Amino acid sequence: MARSGIDVLVIGAGVSGITTALRLAERGHRVLIRARELPHESTSCAAGALWGPVVAEHERVTEWSDETLEAFRTLAAHPEAGVRLVQGLEASHTGMAPPVWLRDLPDLTLADPATLPAGYLSGWRYTAPIVDMPVYLTYLVLRAKDAGVQIEQGEAASLTEVPAGFDVLVNCTGADARALVPDPEVVPVRGQLVVVENPGIDEFFADAEDAAEMTYFLPHGDRMVLGSTAHPARTDRAWDPALAERIVARCAEVRPELAGARVLDHRVGFRPTRSRVRVEREAIPGGHLVHNYGHGGGGVSLSWGCASAAADLVEAP
């Protein structure tokens, strides 16, 4: 039988930490989040964020992304959550077929190659949730606090024992799990985005292939997020003007009106890439440690499913 009334300390206030804390609080547990960076300084706030479990490996990825898709579809009816259902085009330079996780979407259709932007060989259209992360994180924090979750800023030096006053420690530290666990399998992959004024585009576009420099744009009302980059060897946190210029230029090859769009912001984050998402439990002095990290480029898309799985592990006898 699942345990009730558990005292839980969640380390990390990105999308994984807050969603896990919220799930636990909604199941009646007492939850404190402790995080070095508050939600709006986390990698989660930098994400684009288009639903799709990209660069995330685990046999339950489809189950977790489906649960998250359902959650986002519900949230799209609440404008304050920052989630929109948007139609768009994903296209491949090499002639790929749609990825497996899209195949159950009701409006997935193959695009006529003659309608694709120059240089693309295949493509498909579908409707998916796009999450405006700064707005969404504000919404999630409010919902978590309403459910009784407390959030404090602070650093966890180790995960070797459950601190006094708690039964379970939950590790949602994203790319920092590499040093904290420690887990050398975690590879932080630097990503950069540009936020511009939306010149009137209401569809998303995304490259299907992963590359160090790829093309996508995501409309969030009067703003657009343009991407992106993926550099495992780079640790610099400041935005790189040369990368930003190339991001805008690539997006403008698909939609020329983006060339002159006013730049509003630049974002940098570190995808917590790992050979396998880690949602696991281990016994440590003082109780249990539950891990929920390693979601790569799909942490937003897996957030609700992984939060439920982590909450199940917290409650396990």
Ligand X SMILES: Cc1cc2nc3c(=O)[nH]c(=O)nc-3n(C[C@H](O)[C@H](O)[C@H](O)COP(=O)(O)OP(=O)(O)OC[C@H]3O[C@@H](n4cnc5c(N)ncnc54)[C@H](O)[C@@H]3O)c2cc1C
Which residues contact ligand X (rule: CB under 6 A)?
11-17, 34-37, 42-44, 46-50, 155-156, 172-176, 180, 191, 193, 227-228, 269, 271-272, 293, 295-301
Six-digit token string for 297: 């480029």
Q: How many CB atoms lie within 10 A of CB 143?
A: 18
Shortest distance in whole angstroms from residue 113 CB to ligand X: 25
Shortest distance in whole angstroms from residue 131 CB to ligand X: 7
Shortest distance in whole angstroms from residue 44 CB to ligand X: 3
H/E segment holding residue 254: helix 241-254
Nearer to ligand X, 141 or 300 (CB): 300
H/E segment holding residue 177: helix 177-180
Nearer to ligand X, 2 or 249 (CB): 249
Shortest distance in whole angstroms from residue 265 CB to ligand X: 13
Shortest distance in whole angstroms from residue 292 CB to ligand X: 7
């998250």: which residue's tokens? 68
Six-digit token string for 281: 């439990």
Residues 6+ apart with CB under 8 A from 43: 14, 174, 175, 269, 270, 271, 272, 299
Q: How far apart are CA 306 and CA 24, in angstroms?
A: 12
Nearer to ligand X, 2 or 209 (CB): 209
Nearer to ligand X, 181 or 258 (CB): 181
Nearer to ligand X, 6 or 175 (CB): 175
What are 9's strand-pairing partners? 32, 169
- 3-class SS of residue 305: helix
Among the listed residues 228, 242, 172, the one whose alpha carbon sits nearest the alpha carbon of residue 195: 228
